[in-house]
Structure 1
């Protein structure tokens, strides 16, 4: 195994530990660093890894999945994807990235003060649309859904986000396959990185128990705030 792939594996391991405990964070942590190690690792291999991790999450805590929430969020995902594409085509990328980051930071700040988001059909569709737009244009699709479920129990949050990420990642992979963007090299890279994801998923079990002891909400807010700060820095410094 080359040094580059080993480093990529360690990055995937770290992202998998975070997502296994909190419910999101794999793409956030892995994608920017993998793009620096080898641009061909993004987006296809990391999406395939994300599919596998999301599937394992749903299996591990399948009884806790809020399936109606997944369905309504996916209903908002497609128009959100289109909004993201339009944003990329018509707005300066740096400015849009900063706006997304500041929006997430504002939601985190409101959550720490008074905001208690209610999980309704409307809020799920809006969160799904925001997730699709932010994920398509700025590679940060997790926070809108995670912030909506921040007051849910840890197992409910992880299982529901896992199911949502599974469907959205599979749809992205299928789209890329139809567009001819998936190659044997991508599949091989994902296969090499898969054991690192699996190990991170196993290691996340103790973290999961620690966070479920009244800490999951603050972990979600911390990861969301960290992702937003990274976006703002990316927009400012390029």
Structure 2
């Protein structure tokens, strides 16, 4: 029970970050989950994330850039195929190191000043990277966030959320086909859903009162710490 509640509180905080800056649930919660309950990664994180994305999308749906959603979703498909194979074949150590790598790459994306043009090729490449890492580890936000960096904050949040509604459905379908989605994942996701709801509700207040760069820096710092712990645990284990 203590383990369940601790993970739930991490989900609450990570959900608040996700609702505030458009990503963060996977980068913050997945490292802890892969250490404590690796059997729940990535499906449980994706099941939680899709609900956050739906809530964020409904809140700002009029600001969505649908061209980004379309082309990034098309690009996501080959990434999902590769990730489904990886999840089915990787050892625990391999999955842990892949997840930690995804976190560190994601943090790097949030810190660099590069703003790639949201062209169709770039959107499809970002979608492929998002599909690969998002389906294998639950961390697919940073590539899309990078593409949306030049957009207004509200437009970026709305577009990323809309993309993840579509992308999460595609990823869960791929995992189900690959035999990596079970009733256990659904039950744990349902159990942590109340924590997620509280986090989403808090994000509405956080958006109005906190600076986006500060929130991004906070999420990045916690994510790096989690990734380093995962790497240490994987190597020592």
Q: TM-score range by the shorter chain?
A: 0.7 to 0.9
Task: Report the Cα distance in structure 1 between the residues aligned to 2:161 and 2:58, rounded to whole angstroms.
Answer: 9
Task: Report the Cα distance in structure 2 between the residues aligned to 1:100 and 1:186, rounded to whole angstroms.
Answer: 21
Task: Report the Cα distance in structure 2 between the residues aligned to 1:128 and 1:205, rounded to whole angstroms.
Answer: 27
CA RMSD of aligned residues (A): 3.2
Q: Which runs of 5+ in 2 are unaligned?
A: none
Task: Report the Cα distance in structure 2 between the residues aligned to 1:8 and 1:126, rounded to whole angstroms.
Answer: 33
Question: What is the match of residue 209 of structure 1?
Answer: 208
Point out the structure with max Rg over C-alpha.
1
Structure 1 residue 119 displacement after superposition: 1.6
Structure 1 residue 76 displacement after superposition: 1.1
Task: Report the Cα distance in structure 1 between the residues aligned to 2:149 and 2:39, rounded to whole angstroms.
Answer: 34
Question: What is the match of residue 21 of structure 2?
Answer: 22
Distance 1:68 1:228, change over 3 A: farther
Task: Report the Cα distance in structure 1 between the residues aligned to 2:47 and 2:155, rounded to whole angstroms.
Answer: 23
Task: Report the Cα distance in structure 1 between the residues aligned to 2:77 and 2:177, rounded to whole angstroms.
Answer: 17
1:98 touches 1:236 (CA, 8 Å); kept in 2? no
1:190 aligns with 2:189: yes
1:81 aligns with 2:77: no
Larger CA deviation: 131-140 vs 8-17: 131-140
Question: What is the match of residue 129 of structure 1?
Answer: 128
Distance 1:103 1:3, change over 3 A: closer
1:101 touches 1:229 (CA, 8 Å); kept in 2? no
2:115 touches 2:146 (CA, 8 Å); kept in 1? no
Q: TM-score, structure 2 length as denominator?
A: 0.79
Task: Report the Cα distance in structure 1 between the residues aligned to 2:233 and 2:184, rounded to whole angstroms.
Answer: 32
Structure 1 residue 178 displacement after superposition: 3.2
Q: TM-score, structure 1 length as denominator?
A: 0.79
Structure 1 residue 118 displacement after superposition: 1.9
Structure 1 residue 197 displacement after superposition: 0.7
Distance 1:103 1:169, change over 3 A: closer
Q: Which runs of 5+ in 1 are unaligned?
A: none
Task: Report the Cα distance in structure 1 between the residues aligned to 2:137 and 2:47, rounded to whole angstroms.
Answer: 19
Distance 1:173 1:73, change over 3 A: same
Q: How many residues align?
A: 230
1:100 touches 1:228 (CA, 8 Å); kept in 2? no
Question: What is the match of residue 65 of structure 1?
Answer: 64
